Structure 1
Amino acid sequence: MKILLVEDDPETAAYIARGLEEAGHVVDRAADGQDGLFLATGGGYDVMVVDRMLPRLDGLAMVRAARAAGVATPALFLTARAGVGDRVEGLEAGGDDYLAKPFSFAELLARLNALARRPPLQREATVLRVGDLEMDLIRRTVTRAGRRIELQPREFRLLEYLMRREGQVVTRTMLLEGVWDFHFDPRTSVVETHISRLRAKIDKGFGRELIHTVRGAGYVIRADG
């Protein structure tokens, strides 16, 4: 395999590269996200190993940008952050697998071999649409019927979570975990308050509601009423 390794710690990078080369693979190395993105977009790699915490451009941003540029190379994140929320963020950024440090090299090699056998990824969408509502994930903009809608960062994340699951009912617990990274019930109305604010910006004055409450279950965004 031809492998792109993006790791800023010299000792870790040398250890991984040496093991991969001893296993018969070709390894190109980059020490920061910008150089990693430059190499990734050059193509020709079977798999990428990307540290999550990188200088100049972090691992999540690097993989997002690579996917936006049409790079379908499978990506495995290496990170010291192993929480469920961190893994979800990595996967939603376009990653294919996640390995927490410290790790076994044998496990890393097995995971890379498995990734290389997968069919290539489809290009990740960078624009989400539900009816006349449009979210540009690169420019971080939201418009409805061509009208720009200004959202706070948490509102943007909440709307993105809903739009990625168009037509699916999402529960309060799912939103607490996916948007706020809470793995417990804070016993507050934070979800309800933000949904109300989001509705005021997304639905008010447009004649047709997109965000719906499913009584006893949660919320859903859909364009069919």
Structure 2
Amino acid sequence: MRVLMVEDEKYMAEAVAQVLKKNNYSADLEHNGEDGLNCGLSGIYDVIILDIMLPKMDGISVLKELRRNGIEAPVILLTARGETEDKVRGLDSGADDYLAKPFHTDELLARLRALGRRKTELIADGILKYGNIELNPHTLMLCCGSKEIKLTLKESQLLELLIKRNSMIISKEAIIEKLWGYDADAEDNHVEIHVSFLRKKLSQLESGVSIRTIRGAGYILNTANERE
């Protein structure tokens, strides 16, 4: 899961980002509303954590612009403790949840897991299911029946993306934006290498799930039944 955190308290934001990364989330940080909005409009984030009090553009205005431009990623608003009016305005403007500062990181992680479960029916108790495989994005374990194998973080993120968009062909460009970020130096061969590694692990599990290459377009997941 790729998370954008827009928070002007840099020390706190960096501390939260480290916790997210230790729990196998990809975390990008921005420290003002304008930059946060620009990043959010890229559409590459699964969840956006958005402080209300931001320089250049406040969080509620950022949220309204995101929703106005069709960005449906769940948004967790960070509010000052006791500011009921901010919470109400945020929820009315399209926020999915809120946390009052200061907050415990365990509570933030629980909120992220809850939003992930709410976002797609493919997820049950944090587990993503497709065909006869199950992926736990938090432990990086991929299971098929009684067999299991540990993925790298990027392999897990790639498979998570393919499962969540299982009916869509995903281009290499979209994969790079989602896994590495829109301003990353990653190239097509980075995607090809991770697809190759992931294919080998799916084969080791004898899963029946495969990653199909659509020449000139990208990749899509298939099951054995779909290939018949």
Q: Sort the TM-score into its range (normalised by shorter chain).
A: 0.5 to 0.7
Does residue 84 of structure 1 match 2:39?
yes
Greater Cα radius of gyration, structure 1 or 2 = 1
Does residue 124 of structure 1 match 2:116?
yes
State the superposition RMSD in angstroms.
4.3
> Residue 103 of structure 1 aligns to a residue in which SS?
coil
Mapping 1:179-190, distance limit 5 Å: 179-183=179-183, 189-190=189-190
8 A Cα contact 1:149 1:201, kept in partner = yes
* Offset at residue 172 of structure 1 (A): 0.9
For residues 87 and 98 of structure 1, the distance between their equivalents in structure 2, rounded to whole angstroms, comes to 19
State the partner residue of 2:55: 102
State the partner residue of 1:23: none
For residues 201 and 96 of structure 1, the distance between their equivalents in structure 2, rounded to whole angstroms, comes to 33
Instruction: Identify the match of residue 115 of structure 1 among 72, 75, 91.
Output: 91
Unaligned runs of 5+ in 2: 1-6, 24-28, 65-85, 98-113, 118-125
| Aligned AA (1:79) | H
8 A Cα contact 1:213 1:220, kept in partner = yes
* Offset at residue 203 of structure 1 (A): 2.9
1:15-59 Cα offsets, whole Å, 9 max, x none, are xxxxxxxxxxxxxxxx96xxxxxxxxxxxxxxxxxxxx153x449
State the partner residue of 1:166: 166
* Offset at residue 191 of structure 1 (A): 1.3
1:58-81 Cα offsets, whole Å, 9 max, x none, are 49849x9xxxxxxxxxxxx97356
8 A Cα contact 2:60 2:90, kept in partner = no
> 1:100/1:203 Cα in 2 relative to 1: closer, same or farther (>3 Å)?
farther
> 1:205/1:150 Cα in 2 relative to 1: closer, same or farther (>3 Å)?
closer
For residues 60 and 115 of structure 2, the distance between their equivalents in structure 1, rounded to whole angstroms, comes to 27
For residues 147 and 183 of structure 2, the distance between their equivalents in structure 1, rounded to whole angstroms, comes to 36
For residues 84 and 133 of structure 1, the distance between their equivalents in structure 2, rounded to whole angstroms, comes to 33
1:196-217 Cα offsets, whole Å, 9 max, x none, are 1110001345162331112221
* Offset at residue 179 of structure 1 (A): 1.2
> Residue 216 of structure 1 aligns to a residue in which SS?
coil
Mapping 1:9-24, distance limit 5 Å: 9=9
158-167 vs 98-107, which moves further: 98-107
| Aligned AA (1:152) | T
> Residue 220 of structure 2 aligns to a residue in which SS?
strand
For residues 124 and 87 of structure 1, the distance between their equivalents in structure 2, rounded to whole angstroms, comes to 19
* Offset at residue 153 of structure 1 (A): 1.9
| Aligned AA (1:115) | L
> Residue 124 of structure 1 aligns to a residue in which SS?
helix
* Offset at residue 187 of structure 1 (A): 5.4
Mapping 1:1-225, distance limit 5 Å: 9=9, 53=13, 55=15, 57-58=16-17, 61=20, 79-80=31-32, 82=36, 84=39, 91-92=45-46, 94-95=47-48, 101-105=54-58, 108=61, 111=64, 113=89, 115-118=91-94, 123-125=115-117, 126-183=126-183, 189-204=189-204, 206=206, 208-223=208-223, 224-225=226-227
1:116-164 Cα offsets, whole Å, 9 max, x none, are 3549688522221111111113333221223111212221222222122
For residues 178 and 160 of structure 2, the distance between their equivalents in structure 1, rounded to whole angstroms, comes to 10
8 A Cα contact 1:79 1:100, kept in partner = no
